[in-house]
Structures are given as C-alpha cells and as structure tokens.
Structure 1
Amino acid sequence: MHHNWANTFLQITLLGVCGVGIAQAQVKCTMPNGMVITQQLSDKCPAGAVKGETPDGKSISIAPPKPPTPAPRDPFKPPPTAAETLGDRWPLTVRDVVVRCEVIPARQRLDAVTVTHRGTTYAVNGIADAQRANRGWRDIAPIWKANPEIPGTKIGIGPLIDYGRQLCR
C-alpha cells in the first residue's frame, strides 16, 4: 500500500494553521431572535447582533450596522418635472413646460432662463427678456400666476429662475 506523505503533510499543516486561527478568532454572538451563533474566523459579531463574547466570556465589539442601500431609480420613470420639484412655489399657470438655460456670451457670465410651452418659448428672467426680440421669445406675463394676496401683481418667479440657472451649471 502506497502512502501519499505530501498529502498528509498538507493536511497536518492546514489543521495546525486553522487550529491556531480558530482558537484566536472564535466568538459567540447572540442575535435579536435569541439564537447564539459561533463565528469561527472572526473576532467580531455581525451587524445586528445584540451581544458578543469570546469563548472565555469577555465582551467583544459588534460590527456597526450597514447603512441602507438606496433603492435604485427606476430607469423607465422620468425625473421630476420643474413644476413637481418646485411644488407650491411653481409660479406659472401651466405645468407642462420645458425649462432651459442658455449662457449668453458677454464679458461676464449671463444665464438666460426660458420656458417652452406648446411650442412657444417665454423669457423668464431679465437676461432672457433682453434677448426676446432677437430670439423670437415671448413675454412671460400671459402664463405667470397672479398674486391672489396683492391684486395687480404676480407671485414670486425667483424659484423658477434659480431652478433654470442651475441647468447652466
């Protein structure tokens, strides 16, 4: 009968290494359901454990809980519209618009914010208003909400301008 001494040596070596490793890294962990588990190759209990100790009864640290993984965005769901993003601060009488920002070449940065509704583009801020004649854009007044608290005035359009200017960044 032939004996494979190399295989025996490998088994003894692995048992020796693993035996030392197990003795040094074994921990008992109590889980929330009361079940006690033994971690053979770790010196910490998993996240969620309520108690951890070494075989000789010394307390050990418990791994911190992992932060929740955010739900992936549905690739078929469109991002929120400008009207949805601004909510109660939406200053227009129409909600189905495309908001755009265009950088106007000048000595300093000028951002022209416009909205397009059913094929008509409206100038939202002063920079866009100054470009109206050259670009064929319309005045925003016809679709800008009236301020119900102060007759003859419009509600603040600043949130829409801020939203639009972010598109130029």
Structure 2
Amino acid sequence: MALKPCKSCKHQVDTHAKTCPSCGVANPGVTLGQQVAGGVGLLAIIAVAVSMCSGGEEGSTPRGQAVSQSEYGEKWPFTVAQGSVRCEGASWIVFESGGVAYAVNGSARTVAKTYGWAEIDPIWRDDPAAQGTGTTWKVSVSPIIERGLKLCVR
C-alpha cells in the first residue's frame, strides 16, 4: 500500500483510495496535474488508433479514396471530373463530388433515400461508343464499384 498526502487536507492516504478518510475529497491521491496528464495520454492513444484505422493511404480522404477522370480516361463513367469513392455499410458504394453523395451500386441505390444520397443518373455519362444506335447506353460504373468494394474489406 503506497501512501501519499491528500490533495486537499494533506492527511496520508492510500494512492488508490476513492475518498479521503479525513476530509472526504474524491480521489485524494490524484492531483489535478496527474488527471490532466492522464487525459492527454488517453487523447494521444485515441489519435493513434484513429490514424491507424483510417488507412493513411495516399489519395485517401477522411470520407473515401480520391478518384478522377485522369486515372480512367474514356472509361470514366461520370460527367464530373473528380470525386471520392467510399464504402458505407457492408457494401454500399457511394461516389461524392461537389459536396453531393451519389449511390453508385444497386445495394446503395436501394437505401439512397434513407441516407440522403442522390441518384447517380444525373452525373452518369452516356457511352460515346453507343451514339447513333438509337439506344442510350451508359459508361460502365463497374471500375468504380470494384474500387469501392476494396475499401469495404479494409
């Protein structure tokens, strides 16, 4: 049993005592400085844990992984030049650009209204190879979905 003076009345108390038997102060063996140091240490541990869980991958954002038209060339499926792709839930792939989140894959589209995600159709690019065929085809979003699904398993 280690003894220490009470932070209030200076009576000798066990360092693990919940209250001082002399004056009744809570945590008599713990000074304000020790409480602050303990809190700072806890915050540092939390910060390290968050950093490790975020992946820290180049091109990553706190909300996903950056993607752009320059990476995909003609296979880029959107009318916007860049954004980020992320995985929500188990496998909902979301593309975000200009502050708007769009549901990309079928499972995300089924819950889009619940989470406030926009439909992908307004920014989904028509396939130039299908022009003149009488049918409007879209550029495949499969590469974006595949990239998003890789983020689901991190």
User: Structure 2 length normalisation: TM-score?
Assistant: 0.50
Question: Does the CA contact (< 8 Å) of 2:76 and 2:139 recur in 1?
Answer: no
Which secondary structure state, in structure 1, belongs to the residue aligned with residue 101 of structure 2? Answer: strand
1:158 and 2:138 equivalent?
Answer: no
Report the alpha carbon displacement of residue 82 of structure 1 after superposing the two structures with TM. 1.8
Counterpart of 1:19 in structure 2 is none
The residue that corresponds to 2:86 in the other structure is 100
Q: How does 1:114-125 map to 2 (within 5 A)?
A: 114-125=94-105
Matched, 1:91 2:77: yes
Counterpart amino acid of residue 117 in structure 2: W
Structure exhibiting the larger radius of gyration computed from Cα positions: 1
Q: Corresponding residue for 1:138?
A: 118
Q: CA deviation at 1:157?
A: 0.9
Segments of 4+ in structure 1 off by > 6 A? none
The residue matched to 2:77 in structure 1 has which SS? coil
> What is the Cα deviation at residue 95 of structure 1?
2.2
Counterpart code for 2:115:
R
Q: Which residue identity is paired with 2:92?
A: A
Change (3 A) 1:168 1:85: farther
After superposition, the C-alpha distances for 1:118-149 in whole angstroms (9 at most, x for unaligned) are 11110000011011111111110111110112
**2:128 match: secondary structure:** coil
TM-score, normalization by structure 1: 0.46
Aligned pairs for 1:1-169 (under 5 A) are: 79=59, 81-83=66-68, 84-104=70-90, 111-150=91-130, 151-169=135-153
Distance in 2 between the 1:144 and 1:167 partners? 21
Q: Which amino acid aligns with 1:138?
A: A
- What's the C-alpha RMSD, in Å, of the aligned pairs? 1.9
Whether contact under 8 Å (1:82, 1:163) holds in the other structure is no
Q: Deviations over 1:3-37 (max 9, x none)?
A: xxxxxxxxxxxxxxxxxxxxxxxxxxxxxxxxxxx
Deviations 1:104-128 (A, max 9, x none): 4xxxxxx000011111110000011
Pairwise CA distance, 1:96? 2.3
Give the aligned length: 86
